[in-house]
Structure 1
């Protein structure tokens, strides 16, 4: 015998509603159905967290045989969908009538409001607590026991209260979506400005420029504005090891890996990295096809593996140089001058060739203006990302407090 310890009323509730909620098995509220031979309807695909979209209008390159569409399942707007092997985010909803792959299971209810149940079916409580006991297999082999899912108790309240709660989450999702679109536009704008505010091949001035500057840009070799750092941690004066991530920049190894990777017995051979030193990491990735170059902005010294190239700029604005290395301008030089036979995950280039890299070199005042511009833009992007994170935290908290 099991004892139900779930509360009967939510912590946060609209004042016009009272009385206890109830719990019913999923399978008694939602009925699975299968309707095929609806080739007149459009094929749909699922975007995690957003429901269905038209397959032909999605950004995915999905190959499918249109002659097999008669075997696809009809899904009605507002109904729920689950794939037994791709369920980590919970159940998804259909945003329109259409047809979906026969690998999906489709559910309908006359007594359920979609926008009420959608945040619940995607909540951590549903996925990680209620659904997890009906998941079998490991890693990529995980799957849902459909019969087990159908006996999960889900909250039941009046349709009027469902609609009221569902409207709150729909409005919150709309706000999050608008904030996300703005964030993505800011990222795209930054990418475009990085291309246009630095010199392109064959140009003497950038495509976009502050109006007060008119003179042509020159070039400086990296070796003329920076020196390679060769000071080693001989006396183990420093113990904090840094790492250079394409995504996060220069950060403490402890923060990146949750523990130290470097061997304390060998750190005397590591380079000392001072504030505003730059570090080249030869490890390549999708975001850094020749490896990232980042600036130490941690406001403290640390150490880095001799696998990295550390250099200390002079006679150039730090922010300007930092943003130059966030552009793709210098990638061409690396590709043309890198060594053949490099490891598949590392880029190889000789030190003397690396430091012969040409750096576009306007007057210091223009450098400073460009650096400040991109710093300001990056602050706006960070603020927008933080806003989105707070909105999602708010939504998660409301799901916990507005459901039982």
Structure 2
């Protein structure tokens, strides 16, 4: 772009009071931000973790177990509230914002405003798809472990609307964040409520009867001990190669298809329909993740609902097939199940052995009617939890759409 050219643009959405403000100008990154290398501290500030999910946040506030020596901390840079940080993963998730004063590794580039701006406006802009696309467009070698340099950031053109418009957009998106946070708390409260009820409705460790029982089943005697293998059968998953993958065909369910203990069809893989070795997954099968790089996903499960497309499941998954699907699914949400999964994984193993899985022990009522009563009761809570989770997903999608439309794209 030569000196006579000027980058301007109009956003797709604009608040009424700014409709007559004209096109939004763009300025180079180094016109708005400067790099900061302030090491003037006594190592008494909190060490910040630079994350894509939380931005820059004190390590003690999240599960971030990395130890550093006192000597290395001396070289750490001071981060002020309102600063931005370029990280090694910025090419994937944008530039991070800090709401905290602290220190961070000298490997990161800290950006501080050079002129009056609304920091929150840029906090949201730096997370938009259009910014990340611009960040990646002409920068080579980032995926080889190189970080975006200040020089490369300086070449980027950033929108510079009137400060009042910046404030309005920031307020809009911040209020939406507040709403999402409130709805997240409701979801966590529902999950906690269900967990508390389950601890009462299922026998505690070492007990054979639960603390709470529905009136019609009081005095029905002790629950009976059963292994998972006595309640149904396991169906092994499909091993396939990249050459088998198609744009459509037979759906392969994987760990990414389990979200909040329900089947989610957002990240799908298909293989050729005539592939050999595929065991079809059926409605009311319980899909279980038995192997994964992340231990937190191992053991997660969901019931395959009706109206599913023709599907199988991958080799890192298994299916438990039973006539008591609704009740067994609730057994797989209990503390007893979670404890047995953790015992199998240990310190290094990242998988559940199918033979051991069938030997997992549970206590359940002898009367099928009591099993059904418990399953129906807890399923009602699951319906509320699912509805709340879907509401949050809708709000997040709405926010994502707003972020794409409220910020302009460059037009030269």
Residue 27 (structure 1) aligned to one of 8, 25, 30? 30
Question: RMSD between aligned alpha carbons?
Answer: 4.1
- TM-superposed CA distance for 1:66, in Å, is 3.3
The CA deviation at 1:24 is 0.5
Determine which of 319, 322, 332 is the counterpart of 2:329: 322
Q: Partner residue of 2:353? A: 347
Q: Gaps spanning 5+ residues in structure 1: where?
A: 231-238
Describe the superposition over 1:131-160 as per-residue Cα deviations: whole angstroms up to 9, x where unpaired. Answer: 002433264625324312111111112222
> TM-score, normalization: structure 1?
0.76
Give SS of 1:36's match.
coil
Unaligned runs of 5+ in 2: 236-248
1:319: Cα distance to partner? 1.5
TM-score (norm 2): 0.75
Kept after mapping to 2: 8 A contact 1:44/1:100: yes
Q: Distance in 1 between matches of 2:229 and 2:109?
A: 64
Question: Any residues of structure 2 matched to 1:83-102 within 5 Å, and which?
Answer: 83-102=87-106
Q: Give the Cα–Cα distance (whole angstroms) in 1 for the partners of residues 161 and 313 of structure 2.
A: 60
Structure with larger Rg: 1
2:305 equivalent to 1:297:
yes
1:319–1:371 contact (8 Å) kept in structure 2:
yes
Deviation at 1:189, TM superposition (A): 4.0
Structure ranking higher on relative contact order (CA contacts 8 Å, 6+ apart): 2
Q: Where do residues 203-282 of structure 1 align in structure 2 (5 Å cutoff)?
A: 203-210=207-214, 213-215=217-219, 216-219=221-224, 221=226, 226=231, 243=253, 248=258, 258-260=269-271, 264=275, 266=276, 275-276=283-284
Deviation at 1:168, TM superposition (A): 1.1
Residue in 2 that maps onto 1:164: 168
Count, aligned residues: 380
Q: Deviations over 1:201-234 (max 9, x none)?
A: 321222344455422332164699756599xxxx
Q: 1:234 is matched with which residue?
A: none
Tell me which residue corresponds to 2:13. Answer: 12
Contact 2:257–2:266 under 8 Å retained in 1:
no
SS in 2 for 1:131: helix
Q: Give the alignment partner of residue 156 of structure 2, picking from 149, 152, 169.
A: 152
d(CA) in 1 for partners of 2:46, 2:342: 45
Residue number among 341, 356, 371 corresponding to 2:375 in the alignment: 371
1-side partners of 2:105 and 2:36: how far apart? 14
Shift of 1:345: 4.2
Contact 1:271 1:310 in 2 (8 A): no
Question: Bigger CA drift: 297-306 or 186-195?
Answer: 297-306
- Quote the residue 1:36 is aligned against: 39
Aligned pairs for 1:23-172 within 5 A? 23-39=26-42, 40-109=44-113, 110-128=115-133, 130-137=134-141, 139=143, 141-172=145-176
Kept in 1, the 8 Å contact 2:91–2:142? The answer is no
Cα offset for 1:179?
A: 1.9
Please name the residue that 1:235 is paired with: none
